[in-house]
Amino acid sequence: MPEQTDTPDDTVPEEAIYYDQRSVALRTTQSLYFVQEHNKMSMLGLLLQDFKETQIVIVVKSKKKADVLATFLTDKDFKAIAVHGNHRQAQQQASAKQFNLASLQVILTTDMIFKTLDLDHIKLLVSYDLPEMTQEYYNRLAKMKELGVAITLVNQADEVLLSEIEFNMKNEITEKVLEGFHDSQKPKETEHTPKNRSKKPRHRKNKNRKDTEGKQP
């Protein structure tokens, strides 16, 4: 009879780690803030006060918005620069190099340019605008390489996009409230009744909507 030992069984397989974009997204710390579009800039300024020593990438929809926000953050003593299609490739690469050396703290860019930049050590990724294509949201997270956290600012018009992102991820992004921030109404803006978010998870709402599409009455 073979001698029995108390040594652990080394044949137990380790849990597989997957690197598809959904798996990366689920392993990345994410949160979101609901805010009206005209208040996003003031929210960003308050939000970043806790990230003064952090390497940050902020993704926006337009080159003009990147320029405006870069000026706004520079005035608040951030080392920030806009990097977009109006800049030559050499300029874009030079900005990426400065970011990787930590001599530049904040890059504001669009999805088109972000995917071409070779950036290291991104500790905070801010989706100032949600992308029009759901896949682009996961592309953003993948560029961060699970090294930091992701924050998304969501206005009322973007809630359908958010629902689609959460549906594909099969997970709901943590909603937070920024202490000290007041989401003021835009002058002469039509008031609307806030949605009741307590009834059903956002990604489940979107699933029900998709399931009913195409059905005959």
Look up the CATH number of the domain holding residue 38.
Answer: 3.40.50.300
The first and second tokens of residue 201, run together, are: 């998870």
Phi, psi of 209, deg, nearest 5: -65, -40
**Token digits of residue 195:** 């949605």
Structural domain contains residue 142: yes
Per-residue pLDDT tens digits for 68-125: 999 999 999 999 999 999 999 999 999 999 999 999 999 999 999 999 999 999 999 9
Provide CB contacts within 8 A for 74, sequence distance 6+.
80
- Is residue 72 a part of any domain in this protein? yes
Burial (Cβ within 10 Å: 0-12, 13-18, ≥19) of residue 186: exposed
Domain membership of residue 217 (yes or no) is no
Structural domain includes residue 71: yes
pLDDT tens for each residue of 133-183: 999 999 999 999 999 999 999 999 999 999 999 999 999 999 999 999 998
| H-only helix segments in 63-179 | 63-75, 89-100, 111-114, 134-144, 159-169
Nearest to 152 by CA among 165, 142, 170, 143: 165
Q: What are phi and psi of 91, to 5 degrees?
A: -65, -40
Residue 9 belongs to some domain of the structure: no
Sequential DSSP letters for 119-140 = -----EEEESS--SSHHHHHHH
Count of alpha carbons within 13 angstroms of residue 140, beta-carbon side: 32
Is 158 contained in some domain? yes
Domain assignment of residue 46, given as a range: 22-178+198-212
Whether 191 is in a domain gets the answer no
CA-based nearest residue to 119, from 56, 191, 36, 35: 56
What's the whole-model pTM score?
Answer: 0.81
190 belongs to a structural domain: no
**Per the structure, how many domains does the chain have?**
1
The strand pair at 124-127 and 80-83 is best described as: unpaired
